[in-house]
Amino acid sequence: MSELKWWEKPIRMGRHEWMADLARIKDRDLDVIAREKAEVWNINCEWVIGAPGIAPGMGWTTTFNTEKFTKYPDLGDFDMLREYVPHAKAHGIHPLSYLNMHWYSYEFGKQHPDWLQIMADGRAYGDVNPLYGSGTTLCVNSGWRDWAFDLVREAMKTGLDGVFLDGPVVFPGCCYCDACVARFTEQYGRPQPRDEDWADPLFKEFVDFREQSMAHFLKDAGDAMREINPDGVIFLNAGSWHGGAWRVARDIAAVGPYQQFNGAEAFYHLGHHTETLFWSMAAKHLVAGNKPAIVFVHHCLGTWHYLPLPRIETVLAGAQTVACGAGTWLAAFEYSIENAREETIEPMREINGFLRSVEPYCTAAESMADIALLYSGQSSKYYISRIGELFTDVEAGHEQDLTFKSGSGEVVVDWAARKQRCDKWQGDTYRGWFNALSRQHVPFDVILEAGLTDGSLSRYKTLIIGNASCLSEAQKAAITRFVAEGGNLVGEFEAGEYDERGNETDSTLRAELGIGQIAGAFKPATVEEYINLGDAAHPLLGSFHEGRWLARPVNALQVVPTDATEAAGYYMNPIGKVYTKPAGTSEWPAIVCSQPAGRVAYLAGLFSEFYGVYRMEDLEQLLVDVVKWAHGEPLPVRVRAPRTVEVECYTQPEHKRIVLHLVNNTADMQRPMCELIPVHDIEIELTSGEVASVRSARGVDVRMEPIDGGVWLTVPVLEVYDLIIIEMG
């Protein structure tokens, strides 16, 4: 194996955010600061502010001396980068510079009106939507590009190992500046459309144009950086898995080839529902880009930036991130460090210190999972169902004060509104599959569309495509080959019904999934509709007895299966009202399965989205039963533990070693989490061959019992996060 570059090894990034008090650093001992970052924060890579993100949009100023740019006034002649970078390097920290490239003052924007991002109505985006309350933003296709590339070059001259670009962002509804109109017209023969019209092929080209503009900007910025340091690294905030990321032109599939890290924010915010596996979901999605990944976590209490996160939230952020294969990034704010030092510093010392100690067991580690979950970026961008019945206005039915509400029942006609609904479906689909598999301790990786055709699929035995509705013919053909060669497949709803741009097409996957025709859809309903699993439980339904009813997904299709399939449950006839007698079982199957070569299961509804929103235990179990039936053989790791215990499995072939990451998410039933409940006597059955020794990174006395083909392990206690290291014989 070739020597890994520094950025290919486990990374623990940090950022000391001084905000508008940058001048305070001038009176500090810089070597003491750098030593604390290395020995207390336990980081090995640091972002040092080069162009600040400070109100009212001071990204046009620098913290370092250069004749080409305006210096941040409070720093005077003090060169923050040149003064600090040598100290960071002396303590083994790789210094990168944070360059704000999305937030500029109105004053600066007025000096360069042709650089502004322009909305379809001709107004500057920042005039309509002031950034952070005051400020505007600039366009990646305008003359600002050259200004930005010069900034990168000048920053790199200070001795940095690389740069992080905070932004640029192509904001929603942008951009219609002269440069964008000229470039788009040259490429497509006419200007970009002014309205969000998903029936217009040119609008879809515009969606792609925006993302490619970001990619071209990053590529050229990287070229500028390498003029100064050929070994430098560059990356930007590339966006995460949430549906609707196309609105800000973020996609790791587009920018990934031009950056050394796939990184994205996963900032905790109060007042919003936060997933238990919040950081895990971000990490696995970023790792799917097949390069080092970083999850960004502000060590602050949401938008109260000068208060730290509770200890447990900070520690879990690092644990989930590394357990899922990514590197950590923690940003702490100066006032938090000053006024709540112990609460701010100690959680970083704790988690990063542990990660530092286990770094050898996370280096060049390969996932043991043989199940892949497809995250379809194409579907997130272009999917709009053509089945009109699905867009009936419903809401989560609820009963209160002897009244019942469940939506207007009218059909949503507006295509933009339909797209918003489909965006949410795609996000909730990922959320549903991810949570169900993780909670049931099913090892899995996330892959992107590129993984279908680049050979990556060959290492998996089972592929879950969910509602990957928008796939190219080459991608569908790859899935068909995978099944023909013995691979197993799980799909649902409108998987493969459209091409990669969301256009209707004759689905070449429909027959593969066992569907002859989609005849229509049930009227969406959030109450009192059911699935009948039948009088003789199908082997696919391993956890359910015959005659069981399950809640019907809100979005359910009426499909005609092919002759080669078997039904494993039928939708019941619509009841239509609460407290009303059931109307019997319909002719429409809810689940069908077949075994053409590998095993294939198809769910005729948005089951994963339904679980992602409603979290019914039966739906979680059903999703996992379907996957286990399709997989057809024991999982490489079988775990007996509460569902709040996350287990991720890796191998290090060069060391003949297996490493299990155990994360305890068993908390006190609220966010932010304040207390974790220790878990005892976790049992793990591992198919591994002969085992020489087992130990815990925390020093817990793990009990080992050899069994046929592997080993049985008992972990007596899991506090927060542990690694079980298994040396093979």
pLDDT beyond 90 at 489: yes
d(CA 239, CA 424): 16
Q: Is the dihedral of CA 696, 699, 700, 702 positive or negative?
A: positive
Domain 637-728: CATH class, spelled out: mainly beta
> CA 723 to CA 354: how far, in whole Å?
10
Alpha helical stretches, state H, 340-414: 341-357, 359-362, 377-382
Phi, psi (5° rounding) for residue 172?
A: -55, 135
pLDDT band at 401 (very low <50, low <70, confident <90, very high): very low
Tokens 């998903």 locate to 198
**pLDDT tens digit sequence for 68-91:** 999 999 999 999 999 999 999 999
438-464 average pLDDT score? 97
404: pLDDT confidence band, cut at 50, 70 and 90?
very low
SS3 138: strand
| CA distance readout (Å), 30 to 60, 84, 176 | 25, 6, 45
Q: What is the mean pLDDT of the chain?
A: 94
Classify residue 270 by burial, with Cβ atoms within 10 Å: 0-12, 13-18, 19+: exposed
At 281-336, the pLDDT tens digits run 999 999 999 999 999 999 999 999 999 999 999 999 999 999 999 999 999 999 99
Asked if the model's pLDDT at residue 379 lies above 80, the reply is: yes
- In Å, the largest CA–CA distance within the chain is 81
Span 130-139, mean pLDDT?
Answer: 96
The pLDDT score that the predictor gives to residue 709 is 84
Q: Which pLDDT score, from 0 to 100, does residue 581 have?
A: 94
Q: Distance between alpha carbon 568 and the CA centroid of its chain, in Å?
A: 32
Asked if residue 683 has pLDDT above 70, the reply is yes
- Provide the pLDDT confidence category of residue 175 given band limits of 50, 70 and 90: very high
Which residue type, as a one-letter code, is found at position 349?
Answer: R
**Residue 44, both tokens:** 């090995």
575, 528 Cβ separation under 8 angstroms: yes
Helix, strand, coil share (%) of the chain residues, nearest 5: 35, 25, 40
Token digits of residue 420: 């918003």
The reported pTM is: 0.95
CA distance 252 to 290: 10
CA–CA separation, 444 and 434 (whole Å) = 9
Read off the DSSP letter of residue 388: G
What are the strands of the beta sheet with 657-664, ordered from one edge? 366-367, 645-652, 657-664, 721-728, 691-696
* pLDDT number for residue 395: 63
Could you report the per-residue pLDDT of 533-581, keeping only the tens digit for each?
Answer: 987 778 899 889 888 999 999 999 999 999 999 999 999 999 988 899 9
CA distance 331 to 37: 12
Element (H, E) at 515: strand 515-521
Flag whether pLDDT at 194 surpasses 60.
yes
pLDDT at 406 over 80: no
* Domain regions of the chain by residue span: 1-43+261-357, 45-257, 371-631, 637-728
How far apart, in whole angstroms, are the C-alpha atoms of residue 184 and residue 675? 53
Q: Which tokens in the block code for residue 413?
A: 């006609």
Per-residue model confidence (pLDDT) at position 495: 97
* Residue scoring higher pLDDT (137 or 415): 137
Architecture in CATH of 45-257: Alpha-Beta Barrel (3.20)
Q: Is the pLDDT of residue 715 over 50?
A: yes
Q: Residue 42 pLDDT more than 90? A: yes
Taking only the tens place, the pLDDT of each residue in 630-679 is 999 999 999 999 999 999 999 999 999 999 999 999 999 899 999 999 99
- Does residue 403 register a pLDDT over 80? no
Q: What does the pLDDT average to over 150-169?
A: 97
For residue 400, the model assigns a pLDDT of: 44
Q: What is the pLDDT of residues 245-279, one digit of tens each?
A: 999 999 999 999 999 999 999 999 998 889 999 99
- Third-level CATH fold of 371-631: Rossmann fold (3.40.50)
Q: What is the pLDDT at residue 399?
A: 42
The H or E element that residue 343 is part of is helix 341-357
Q: 481 CB contacts (<8 Å, ≥6 apart)?
A: none
